[in-house]
Structure formats: C-alpha cells, structure tokens
Structure 1
Amino acid sequence: MDRISALDLVALVLDEGTYESWDQPIDVSGYSPDYRAAVEKAAQRSGCDESIITGRGLVRGRPVAFVLNEFGFLAGSIGRAAAQRIVSAVRRATAEGLPLLASTASGGTRMQEGTPAFVHMVDISRAIMDHRAAGLPYLVHLRHPTTGGVFASWGSLGHITVAEPGALVGFLGPKVYELLEGRPFPSGVQVSENLARRGIVDSVVLHEELPSVVDRALGLLVDPVTDATRTRRPGVEPGTPRRHGTWESIEITRAEPRVGARDVLRHGSDATVRLQGTEEGERDTAMLVAFARLDGVPCVVVGQDRTTQTPANPMGPAALREARRGMRLAAELGLPLVSLIDTPGAELSPGAEEGAIAGEIARCIAAMSTLEVPSVSVLLGQGSGGGALALLPADVVVATENAWLSPLPPEGASAIVHGDVDHAPQMAQQQRVSALDLQETGTVHHVVPEPEDDSPEALARAVAAEVGHQLRGLLDARGANGLPSTHA
C-alpha cells in the first residue's frame, strides 16, 4: 500500500499557505546513545523531528487544528515527547475553540520507552474528551497501519471516523498475534472495509476524497444556519375534511412508491455525512444516522429506513443503539436533533429480547425526552409500536398527512381484541392512530399535506422545508441560533 506522509496530508487538506506549526523542538538529551541515534536517523528519513506534527491551518477558509501521525518516524510510535505534543495541541485547540483533525498511522506505544510512554495514552484521551466536552468537533482519519494504543485511545474517539481503503486497523498487530499464539490472525478482520461493515468506522475514503470529506464535515459542524431554499406547504388545519380514511392512509404508507428517510436526506438536505453503526461493533441497516443540513439548518438526523426493514430483517436493538449515538452527538455538539419515524415495528424475537430491545426503546425515549438541544420528530409513514415511540419525543412533532402511530400494528390490535386480523381497519379507526387524529389530541403539532399528485421527492422536500422552519423557530427562541460558539 502506498503510504501518504503527514506533510503530504498537510498539503492535501489545508488551504495553501495556511500551515502553522505548533511544535517545539524535541529534547533528546536524556535518550541513550542508541535511542538518540535511532531518533536522528528517523528524523532524516521522514523529514519530521518526531512521530507527531501538530498545528493549525485553514480548510476552505475555516480554521482547524491538526494532529498528524508520521509512520516514517519509528513506525509512528508514540513516546513521551510525542504524547506530550499531542496533549499540548489538543489543549490549545480547546482553548482557542478550534475543531480538531487527527490522522493516525502507528504501531502504538514506542517500545524503547515502555510503560512511561504507554500511560500517556490516558493523558491523550483525557485531553480529547475535554475538547469534545467543549462542544468542539473531532474528526479522525485512520491510515495504514493503525494499531495498539493509538487505535485504543485517540484513534477511536472521533465524532466522525474515516479510514483509508485496505488499511490495517486493529488493536493487536497480526505479527504479534502470530508470534504469541503460534497461528496467523484471520485475514480480513483488521481491515478498514470490514470495520465499516461492522459499524466501527463510518466510511472508507480515498486520499483524493479526503479534502472534500473534511470540508463537508466542517461545513455541517461549524458553519451557521443558511437561508431556506425549499417551499413549505400550508399545514392541514384541525377539522379539515379528510382526503382518506384511516385504513386507506395506512395502506398508502405501506405501498410503493412512498417517501422515506433516504428521500428526505437526498432531496431535503444541502449536505450530508452518513455515520455507520454504534462505533462498538454493531450496525443495523434499519437506522440511518447522519449529520445533515435540512433546508439550511445543520442538525443530526436519526431515521428509520423503510427500504431495509422486512419481516426477515426487522429493526433490532442495535438500530436503537445507533439512534442513541446520534442523540449523544447532537447533545455534545449542540446541534438540533431530527428523528424520522417510519417502521412496521421493532424486532420480536429471542435475539431481540437478549439484545435488550425493551431497554433500548426506554433509553431512546429517555434520551429524547431530556435533550437540551432543539428537536423535531417526524411521523413520516408507518409508526408501529415501541420502535416508533422510541423516536417520538421532541419539542415539535410533525407528521405527513397519511402517517400514523399505534401501540401495535392494527392487525395485532385486532388479534388481541377480536381473535382475528380481519378487524384491523376498524381497530385503526377506533384507536385514533392517524396523523389528523393525533393532531386533534395534541400529540402532533403540524401536519404536512399530501395532495393526490404528490411524489416521494416533492413530499421529501416539503418535509425538509417544514423541519427547517420549525428548527429555525426553536433556535431563534433560544437566542443566537441556540448553537455553541463554533457555529457563530
């Protein structure tokens, strides 16, 4: 694999002429003669005085601090001087209110320095978490190879984490494993593409794509609200004659074509960065999590994807854990949260029970109910059971005209009350599950109309316009757009 150096990354990502180094000279006077010679040789070979370079610059005009690993310097290993350089840079970035970009390529702790260097991973992690606690974005780029204490500390703490194609990324180096265990490490496990599939990293990014990825991420996490560009539809007023009966609306939400969360992101967002998984080795395609700019308003979106939920692949507990990741990110970064509800119901199985499906529903409800950032939830289509309720609590609840919310699918309610599924239409009407019923009872605050000639794209744009309008109202009510200083 062709490696890109730390200095090449500076030239690739930062605006030309904006690089400013924060690094102080390294004191090697206390090193042994052999170690000093190795360090001097590494410096000559790599063009860097240590395995870490730090500083600040501009990315498309936005100031950003950086911490970059140089693998050519003693395999990117982290000794005490390198660790102190990282901590100093992160602390300075926090004090100056700067987003932080890190790029790793390291075998881990420097063996020549042993435990005194190893324990500095704690200091690095503490500094990064203080940076995150200040509401400042932390972006991580994992290069080949990233292993050991680097991956187990600052390489795994990003708000957004991307990796090089084909990069070796793992906790234990495969050569070390083979020597210790007497057999090779299974191939394909510690590879960036596998980590993306497992929800440990968010995406795999080519070098030439990295500048645009960083630019898009910073645009979502740093840039202010912009003007609306999509047209709102006048809301359906309570008492307006209904276009469809309750059961007909339910059938509409189950039919194709029908607007979904993907449509809202595709047609309603000015920019999007998708996140994958829980960061903890779980990924459920039933849930979409993304940083987005819905009709000009930066936000975190968690949405149930109607295109991936089937009887064979229902929404499981991992999907709700992904949603909670989005909620945590919104709270930490001071961004509004938007939830898109569209599910035929959460998974009902022994595996779901053992995966704490009920607990995850409870924790989602608790998290959304106690968010301190502005929030809007959207009943986009089907809203069946606890899996739908998990994403409902918000400052403002919007619904499309044909959306619905019920304790169980109407067929399930019919089975409980009547012992058959034939009374499902009757049960749906009796339980007042429709968006218009929910508006009358106060659960839904605004209904987006669905005219007869509607299309998924047009409805997605209208939903985004309404969400953007509601978020602007919530942000304005909080003053200064309700966002932390990085968004000013």
Structure 2
Amino acid sequence: MLRKIKVRDIYSCATSYDKIKSQQIIESLYTDFTPWEGLLDFDSTLRAPNGKTIELRNDPAMIVGVANFQGMDVAIIAQQTPGNAQERRARNYGLVQAHGYGLALCMMRYAERYGLTLHTFVDTVGGDPFESSAADLQSWLIARCQARMLDLKTRSVSTIIGQGGQWWRYRFAVGPSPLYASPLHLFRHRARGMRSHFISQRQ
C-alpha cells in the first residue's frame, strides 16, 4: 500500500541538508564545467538605469558557468544551498545576493550570444535581505532576470530541485514547461548514492 505523503514530509525533504544539491547534479551529469570567471569573453559588468556601473563578483549561493552535456555545450545557472551546518555561513545560508542575480543575467546574455541552451536549477531559499544587496540594486536585478527569462532568445530547461514554489522560482524558471524534481525522490536518491543519470518529473 502506498504511504500517504504529507505536506510536512515534502517540505522536510525539500529543505534537508541531505537532499541532492546543484553542485552534485552538475558534477554527476556534466563534464568540462567552466565557471564564469574562466570564460574569456564573459562580460561581468552591468549598467543600471540610474547610470551606475555594477562590477559583478562571485556569489557563494550561485553557480554560473558553461559545461558539456551529452556532447553539447550548455549554459548553467544554479542555486546552491548549504549541504551541512558548517556551510551555512559560507553559502550565505543559500540567500542569493545582488551579484548572483547579476551574474545570472549576464549568463542569459552569454547564452543568447552563442546560441547555448540554458539549464537552470532552482532551489530558492530567498533573496539576500541585507543593505549591501539593496545598494547594489537587487530589486532591479531580480526584475531584469524575470523579464529576460520571459524574452529569452535561446532554448532553456528549468528544473526545480528543492525550494522554489510560488513567485520565487520565476527569477530563473520562466518557460513553457519547467521540470519539477520531487523532493522526496531527491532525498531517497541521495540516500542510495549518486547515479550517472538524473530523473526529472513533469508536473
């Protein structure tokens, strides 16, 4: 007899440290991953409507780069949440900062320029709430990410791997048919060990 799945079970798995994270999926499914810093022609500057030039830096809660997937180069934008209690501060508790949204926006632009399919992995705890991100125009960058995903001129595949319900996911998962990976499936998948493939389930 199938066990009735309760909402609290799904939430517990979606927020668990033991759930598979974006980094593990990338290491398992992709080869030759190159982070954005290693892309010679990756433009990491943005000009805001107020004339401010934003020089982007790395965000510990975001993975942005290019990799090979089954013989094809693809662009990757992935949210990375902490894998254990010790990583919480290093990963900024999984809270994406203004620079992370800016890097995602630049990667969308990069994918369009080179005709790369964009793969996004959504695991959204939330946006960084601190003044430094507000000063770097985080609200504007979030809005630009949403608008760019709506008007993206290349193919995209978005997969929800944990948290990311309601409007939060639309920063990186606007598209005709996003994929959803069951949090319970991911939790059990991690418990059995990594495989050479990853199964996503359409909802």
Q: What TM-score, normalized by structure 1, do the two folds share?
A: 0.34
One of 88, 108, 121 as aligned partner of 1:327: 108
1:401 CA drift (Å): 1.0
Q: 2:5: which partner in 1?
A: 244
Matched, 1:347 2:128: yes
Deviation digits for residues 327-365 of structure 1 (CA, Å, limit 9, x no counterpart): 011000001111110121111122222222221111001
Q: 1:356: which partner in 2?
A: 137
Runs of 4+ with >6 A deviation: none
> Would the alpha carbon gap of residues 297 and 396 (structure 1) be closer, same or farther in structure 2, given more than 3 Å must change?
farther
Q: Which structure would you say has the larger Rg?
A: 1
**CA separation in 2, counterparts of 1:259 and 1:321?**
25
Q: 2:190: which partner in 1?
A: 455
**CA separation in 1, counterparts of 2:195 and 2:108?**
25
Structure 1: which 5+ runs fail to align? Answer: 1-240, 403-448, 471-488
Matched, 1:301 2:37: no
Matched, 1:388 2:124: no
Q: How does 1:384-423 map to 2 (within 5 A)?
A: 387-402=168-183
**CA separation in 1, counterparts of 2:70 and 2:19?**
21
Q: 1:70: which partner in 2?
A: none
> Would the alpha carbon gap of residues 243 and 378 (structure 1) be closer, same or farther in structure 2, given more than 3 Å must change?
farther
**CA separation in 2, counterparts of 1:244 and 1:251?**
12
**CA separation in 2, counterparts of 1:257 and 1:326?**
29
- Code of the aligned partner of 1:269: Y
Q: Relative CO higher for 1 or 2, CA cutoff 8 Å, sep ≥ 6?
A: 2
Structure 2: which 5+ runs fail to align? Answer: 46-54, 83-89
Q: 2:86: which partner in 1?
A: none
| Contact 1:287 1:305 (8 Å CA) reproduced | yes
Q: 2:158: which partner in 1?
A: 377
| Contact 1:330 1:336 (8 Å CA) reproduced | yes
CA RMSD across the alignment:
2.9
Give the 3-state SS of the residue equivalent to 2:197 in structure 1.
helix
Q: What TM-score, normalized by structure 2, do the two folds share?
A: 0.76
1:380 CA drift (Å): 0.9
Q: Aligned residue pairs: how many?
A: 179
Q: 1:128: which partner in 2?
A: none
Deviation digits for residues 50-95 of structure 1 (CA, Å, limit 9, x no counterpart): xxxxxxxxxxxxxxxxxxxxxxxxxxxxxxxxxxxxxxxxxxxxxx
Q: How does 1:201-212 map to 2 (within 5 A)?
A: none
- Code of the aligned partner of 2:12: E
Q: How does 1:1-400 map to 2 (within 5 A)?
A: 244-276=5-37, 278=44, 280-307=55-82, 309-311=91-93, 314-383=95-164, 387-400=168-181
- Code of the aligned partner of 2:73: P
> Would the alpha carbon gap of residues 387 and 282 (structure 1) be closer, same or farther in structure 2, given more than 3 Å must change?
farther
**CA separation in 2, counterparts of 1:460 and 1:450?**
15
1:265 CA drift (Å): 1.0
| Contact 1:361 1:387 (8 Å CA) reproduced | no
> Would the alpha carbon gap of residues 372 and 272 (structure 1) be closer, same or farther in structure 2, given more than 3 Å must change?
same
1:316 CA drift (Å): 1.0
Give the 3-state SS of the residue equivalent to 2:77 in structure 1.
strand
Give the 3-state SS of the residue equivalent to 2:140 in structure 1.
helix
Deviation digits for residues 128-157 of structure 1 (CA, Å, limit 9, x no counterpart): xxxxxxxxxxxxxxxxxxxxxxxxxxxxxx
Q: 1:129: which partner in 2?
A: none
1:387 CA drift (Å): 4.8
| Contact 1:361 1:386 (8 Å CA) reproduced | no
